[in-house]
């Protein structure tokens, strides 16, 4: 995990503020009760030097959905949040970066009832390379199935990308590191494959691509949706179907998707070798990066251009 690289500005509650001044009170409600919602987004710089944010509007729409589920009145429209993101990236002169919008309940009340707590909205951006290491995209990573189960759909809804949801992810990630793995895979309460600590999962067997359905308790990933679209382009058969732990062990290829992880191949699961990234993974990786670098005209609507030096 890379450290955060400080830049000049963070967008907070409608204005750009110096990085060091983007603070919040230690008694903010969401710090104590986990009632924040957030997104992870990437801006890519193409080899030709053009910078674009990938699926910015889709992310901000999901942020609004998360806020609605969490009963948070988000005071900015999707358009305003998209414009603020572009403003922030350009002000910091970031040709490529990771973007973190977060909406949380601030200072003013204490106790489980958040009524009366001010809603704070922040967007930060900073340079960030490969999420799971420099060679992860090329050679893949080792993962282990966690002893921690993903939360029930009637505990914390999987459709909300909330700060509270990630306690499970933290526990699973630390356990995975202790066992020598780069990442963890969590099962749901029924014992079916759910997701990674911050990624969706895909397996390939006999040329067919499979991913668990959202009804199995996983986040509705935007990169996941992108991969399903790209698989259709490449005429790769794709299914949304429940998967068991054994399906991971006997797969020809396995990979994870997410805004941070992008398309990261998995080389082994619980010590069972999957091997080097296979032809389906490679084809989808190539297509994905062609799209984010603006080389596929039919997906131009997924890209929001930014102007940087």
- Whether 209 maps to a domain, the answer reads yes
Tell whether 115 and 245 lie within a shared domain.
no
Active site (annotated) includes residue 45 = no
140 and 285 within one domain:
yes
Q: Record the pTM.
A: 0.95
Report the candidate in 88, 104, 7, 77 with the shortest Cα–Cα distance to residue 41.
88
Average pLDDT, the chain: 95
Same structural domain, 98 and 148: no
> Which positions of the chain have pLDDT values less than 70?
1-2, 131, 133-134
pLDDT, position 75: 97
Q: Output the 3-class SS for the chain.
A: CCCCCCCCEEEECCEEEEHHHCCCCCCCHHHHHCCCEECCEEEEECCCCCEEEECHHHHHHHHHHHHHHCCCCCCCCHHHHHHHHHHHHHHHCCCCEEEEEEEEECCCCCCCCCCCCCEEEEEEEECCCCCCCCCHHHHCEEEEECCCCCCCCCCCCCCCCECCCHHHHHHHHHHHHHCCCCEEEEECCCCCEEEECCCEEEEEECCEEEECCHHHCCCCCHHHHHHHHHHHHCCCCEEECCCCHHHHHCCCEEEEEECCCEEEEEEEECCEECCCCCHHHHHHHHHHHHHHCCCCHHHHHHEEEECCC
- The number of distinct structural domains making up the chain is 2
Of 102, 126, 150, which residue constitutes the final position of a domain? Answer: 126
- Residue 136 confidence (pLDDT): 81
Best CA proximity match to 189, nearest among 210, 168, 206, 205: 168
Q: Are 62 and 41 in contact (CB under 8 A)?
A: no
Instruction: Please indicate, yes or no, whether residues 287 and 149 belong to a single structural domain of this protein.
Output: yes
Instruction: Find the domain containing 213 and state its range.
Output: 136-292
Residues 163, 204 within the same domain: yes
Considering the domain architecture, whether residues 101 and 150 belong to the same structural domain is answered as no
The domain that holds 141 is classified in CATH as 3.20.10.10
105 and 153 together in one domain: no
Boundary-marking domain end, from 87, 104, 126? 126
Neighbours of 159 (CB within 10 A): 16
- The answer to whether residue 307 is domain-embedded is no
Residues 171 and 87 in one domain: no
72 and 112 part of one domain: yes
Decide if 179 is inside a domain.
yes
> Rounded to 5 degrees, what are φ and ψ at 258?
175, 165
Q: Is residue 76 part of a domain?
A: yes
- Give the pLDDT score at 1: 54
- State the CATH number of the domain containing residue 79: 3.30.470.10
Q: Rounded to an integer, what is the distance from CA 32 to the centroid of its chain?
A: 23
The pLDDT, as a whole number, for residue 132 is: 72
pLDDT at residue 149 in the model: 94
- Same-domain pairing of 142 and 122: no
Give the Cα separation of 238 and 254 in Å (integer). 14
Are residues 222 and 166 both part of a single domain? yes
- Can you give the pLDDT at residue 128? 87
Is-contact 276 267, C-beta < 8 A?
yes
Of 12, 68, 118, 161, the catalytic one is: 161
Is residue 182 situated within a structural domain?
Answer: yes
Residue 1 lies in a domain: no
- Looking at the fold, whether 113 and 157 belong to one and the same domain comes out as no
| Beta-bridge partners for 38 | 102
10 Å Cβ neighbour count for 41? 24
Residue 269: inside a domain: yes
The token duo for 213 is 């359905």
Amino acid 129: pLDDT: 78
Domain membership flag for residue 57: yes
């Amino acid at each position: 995990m890379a450290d955060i690289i400080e830049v000049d500005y963070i967008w907070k509650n409608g204005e750009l503020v110096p990085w060091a001044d983007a603070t919040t009170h230690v008694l903010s409600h969401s710090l104590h009760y986990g009632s924040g919602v957030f997104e992870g987004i990437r801006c890519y710089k193409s080899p030709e030097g053009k910078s674009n944010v990938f699926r910015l509007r889709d992310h901000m729409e999901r942020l609004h959905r998360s806020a609605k589920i969490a009963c948070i009145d988000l005071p900015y429209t999707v358009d305003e949040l998209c414009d603020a993101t572009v403003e922030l990236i350009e002000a910091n002169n970031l040709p490529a970066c990771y973007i973190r919008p977060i909406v949380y309940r601030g200072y003013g009340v204490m106790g489980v009832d958040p009524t009366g707590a001010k809603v704070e909205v922040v967007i930060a951006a900073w340079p960030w390379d490969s999420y799971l290491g420099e060679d992860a995209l090329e050679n893949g990573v080792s993962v282990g199935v966690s002893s921690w189960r993903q939360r029930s759909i009637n505990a914390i809804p999987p459709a909300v990308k909330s700060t509270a949801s990630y306690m499970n992810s933290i526990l699973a990630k630390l356990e995975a590191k202790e066992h020598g793995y780069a990442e963890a895979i969590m099962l749901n309460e029924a014992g079916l494959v759910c997701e990674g600590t911050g990624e969706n999962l895909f397996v390939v067997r006999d040329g067919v691509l499979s991913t668990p359905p959202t009804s199995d308790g996983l986040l509705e990933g935007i990169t996941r949706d992108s991969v399903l679209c790209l698989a259709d382009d490449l005429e790769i058969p794709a299914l949304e179907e429940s998967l068991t732990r054994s399906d991971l062990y006997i797969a020809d290829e396995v990979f994870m998707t997410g805004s941070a992880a992008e398309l990261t191949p998995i080389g082994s699961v619980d010590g069972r070798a999957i091997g080097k990234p296979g032809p389906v993974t490679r084809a989808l990786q190539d297509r994905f990066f062609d799209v984010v670098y603006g080389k596929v005209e039919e997906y131009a609507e997924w890209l929001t251009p930014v102007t940087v030096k």
